[in-house]
Amino acid sequence: MTPLTTSKLALLGGPKSVLADQGDLFSWPIVTEEDEQAVLDVLRRGAMSNHEITVEFEKDVRQWFDVPHALAYCNGTASILGAMFGCGIGKGDEVIVPAHTYWASVLPVLTLRAVPIFADSDPVSLCIDPADIARKITPRTRAILVVHLFGHPCDMDPILDLAAKHDIKVIEDVSHAQGGHYKGKLLGTLGDAGAFSMMAGKSLVAGEGGMLITRDRNIYHRALAYGFYVRFPGEASDVDPELLQYQGLPLGGFKHRINQTCSAMGRVQLKHYSERIAEIQRAMNHFWDLLEGAPGLRAHRTCEPGSDMGGWYNPMGLYEPSELGDLGIEKFVEAVVAEGSVCALFRYPALHLHPLLQKADIYNEGWPTAVVHAAHDVRLQPGDLPVTENSHQHLYAVPWFKKMRPELIAGHAAAYRKVAENAEQLIG
Ligand SMILES: *Cc1c(COP(=O)(O)O)cnc(C)c1O
């Protein structure tokens, strides 16, 4: 293939590809006077710890996702814990989790005295590999937790089939993918429960916050009882008497209430969310369309009909060094940054090998917490999850465009293409 650009790379003293002022191309969250007024109203009323705005926010979320139950949390980590407790996870239960994710998807398993069973990832979607889930199901498996990583929907059909066959709950961590779809269905509504973060860096922002959504009344009641003593049972009807007897105190000893300044902001953000992520999708798809055919570079996106990447949180590209004369990814990233674009190495610590999941005895039980309640020692060794362990060699964070500005996006795509097509300048 004839290179489209033959100019000298900026890293070697050539001209940069990206020079223009980027304006609001990357600004996020988009905060307007509407957000400010909503937050000011809560502040001026001193209503931060009440729940009347939060209840309205939950109503908005129920309508948006078309689910009967939504519960707002102080953060996403707490919402995942609530979802797991809601699903009945307890001592010794095995929960199949991806090893390649942010820690908050997994560590609530330890809080519940359950056992995380790590599965490997798919090298293309980067999400949990259904074939590895199938290999790891045992009679003790109680739930599968999936993460739609960096906005990419997990392959839910085989996962839901496995869950139905073995009578296992499915919890979706939607922190990277609020508003994304899998085969026409909103992520977070396919499993038994969906939970997600709304901290300031995510695509759906409340400031700090989390949300649990579910169709299952029992999951909702259990989550409410676990961390919302002021609101339980509240409006909830037909609550199991076993749970009801504990009203007045939170069953988990946790206080999961969200600050209402965040609920107020979340309401305004959600109102504009569909429109804003539609623009993000146009912008991100445009960037990757411009890079079609560039050697060594692959979009991390879905082509499945009816599926999409939601707000395209923390977007990634996949790297094939064999197409670039084995150019190391570090050098590639350095060269794209030198062109004036945005590019970064990315790595979540491999959770299954981290000391916290290998040896920490968090609750002084005389044995590592991750396996103290396991049927046998399920800890993994280096090499056991090869896709997860090697993922950082194939991943780079790409610009997260919030606006469809074709001229500016073209500059970034040109930077990536220039480095990819002139990789030989960096070798030898
Ligand atoms: C951010 C994040 C969380 C935790 O959310 P917080 O609001 O920060 O507690 C959970 N899971 C994933 C995948 C995340 O990226």
pLDDT at 7: 87
Which tens digits make up the pLDDT trace of 127-173? 999 999 999 999 999 999 999 999 999 999 999 999 999 999 999 99
Please choose from 150, 152, 197, 202 the residue to mutate so as to test ligand 1's pocket, defined by most ligand atoms within 8 A of CB. 197
Give 250 Cα–ligand 1 centroid separation in angstroms: 23
User: Ligand 1: residues within 6 Å at CB?
Assistant: 75-77, 101-102, 104-105, 147, 173, 175-176, 197, 199, 210
Q: Whole-angstrom Cα distance, residue 102 to residue 314? A: 12
pLDDT at 235: 87
Rounded mean pLDDT of 334-359? 97
| Minimal-distance CA residue to ligand 1 atom 10 | 104
Measured from the Cα of 149, ligand 1's closest atom is: 13
Residue 335, classed as helix, strand or coil, is: helix
Rounded mean pLDDT of 351-363? 98
Give 100 Cα–ligand 1 centroid separation in angstroms: 13
Please choose from 73, 74, 75, 77 the residue to mutate so as to test ligand 1's pocket, defined by most ligand atoms within 8 A of CB. 77
Give 426 Cα–ligand 1 centroid separation in angstroms: 37
Give 99 Cα–ligand 1 centroid separation in angstroms: 15
Measured from the Cα of 209, ligand 1's closest atom is: 7
Measured from the Cα of 199, ligand 1's closest atom is: 7
CB 226 within 8 A of CB 208: no
Give 101 Cα–ligand 1 centroid separation in angstroms: 9
The edge-to-edge listing of strands for the beta sheet with 169-173 is 69-73, 210-214, 193-197, 169-173, 141-147, 94-98, 115-119
Give 209 Cα–ligand 1 centroid separation in angstroms: 10
Is the pLDDT confidence value at 1 over 70?
A: no
Q: CB neighbours of 7 closer than 8 A, spacing ≥ 6? A: 14, 15, 418, 422
CB 408 within 8 A of CB 26: no
Which tens digits make up the pLDDT trace of 188-221? 999 999 999 999 999 999 999 999 999 999 999 9
- Indicate the average pLDDT of the chain: 97
CA distances from 215 to 67, 158, 193, 382 (A): 6, 21, 7, 39
Which one-letter amino acid corresponds to residue 300?
H
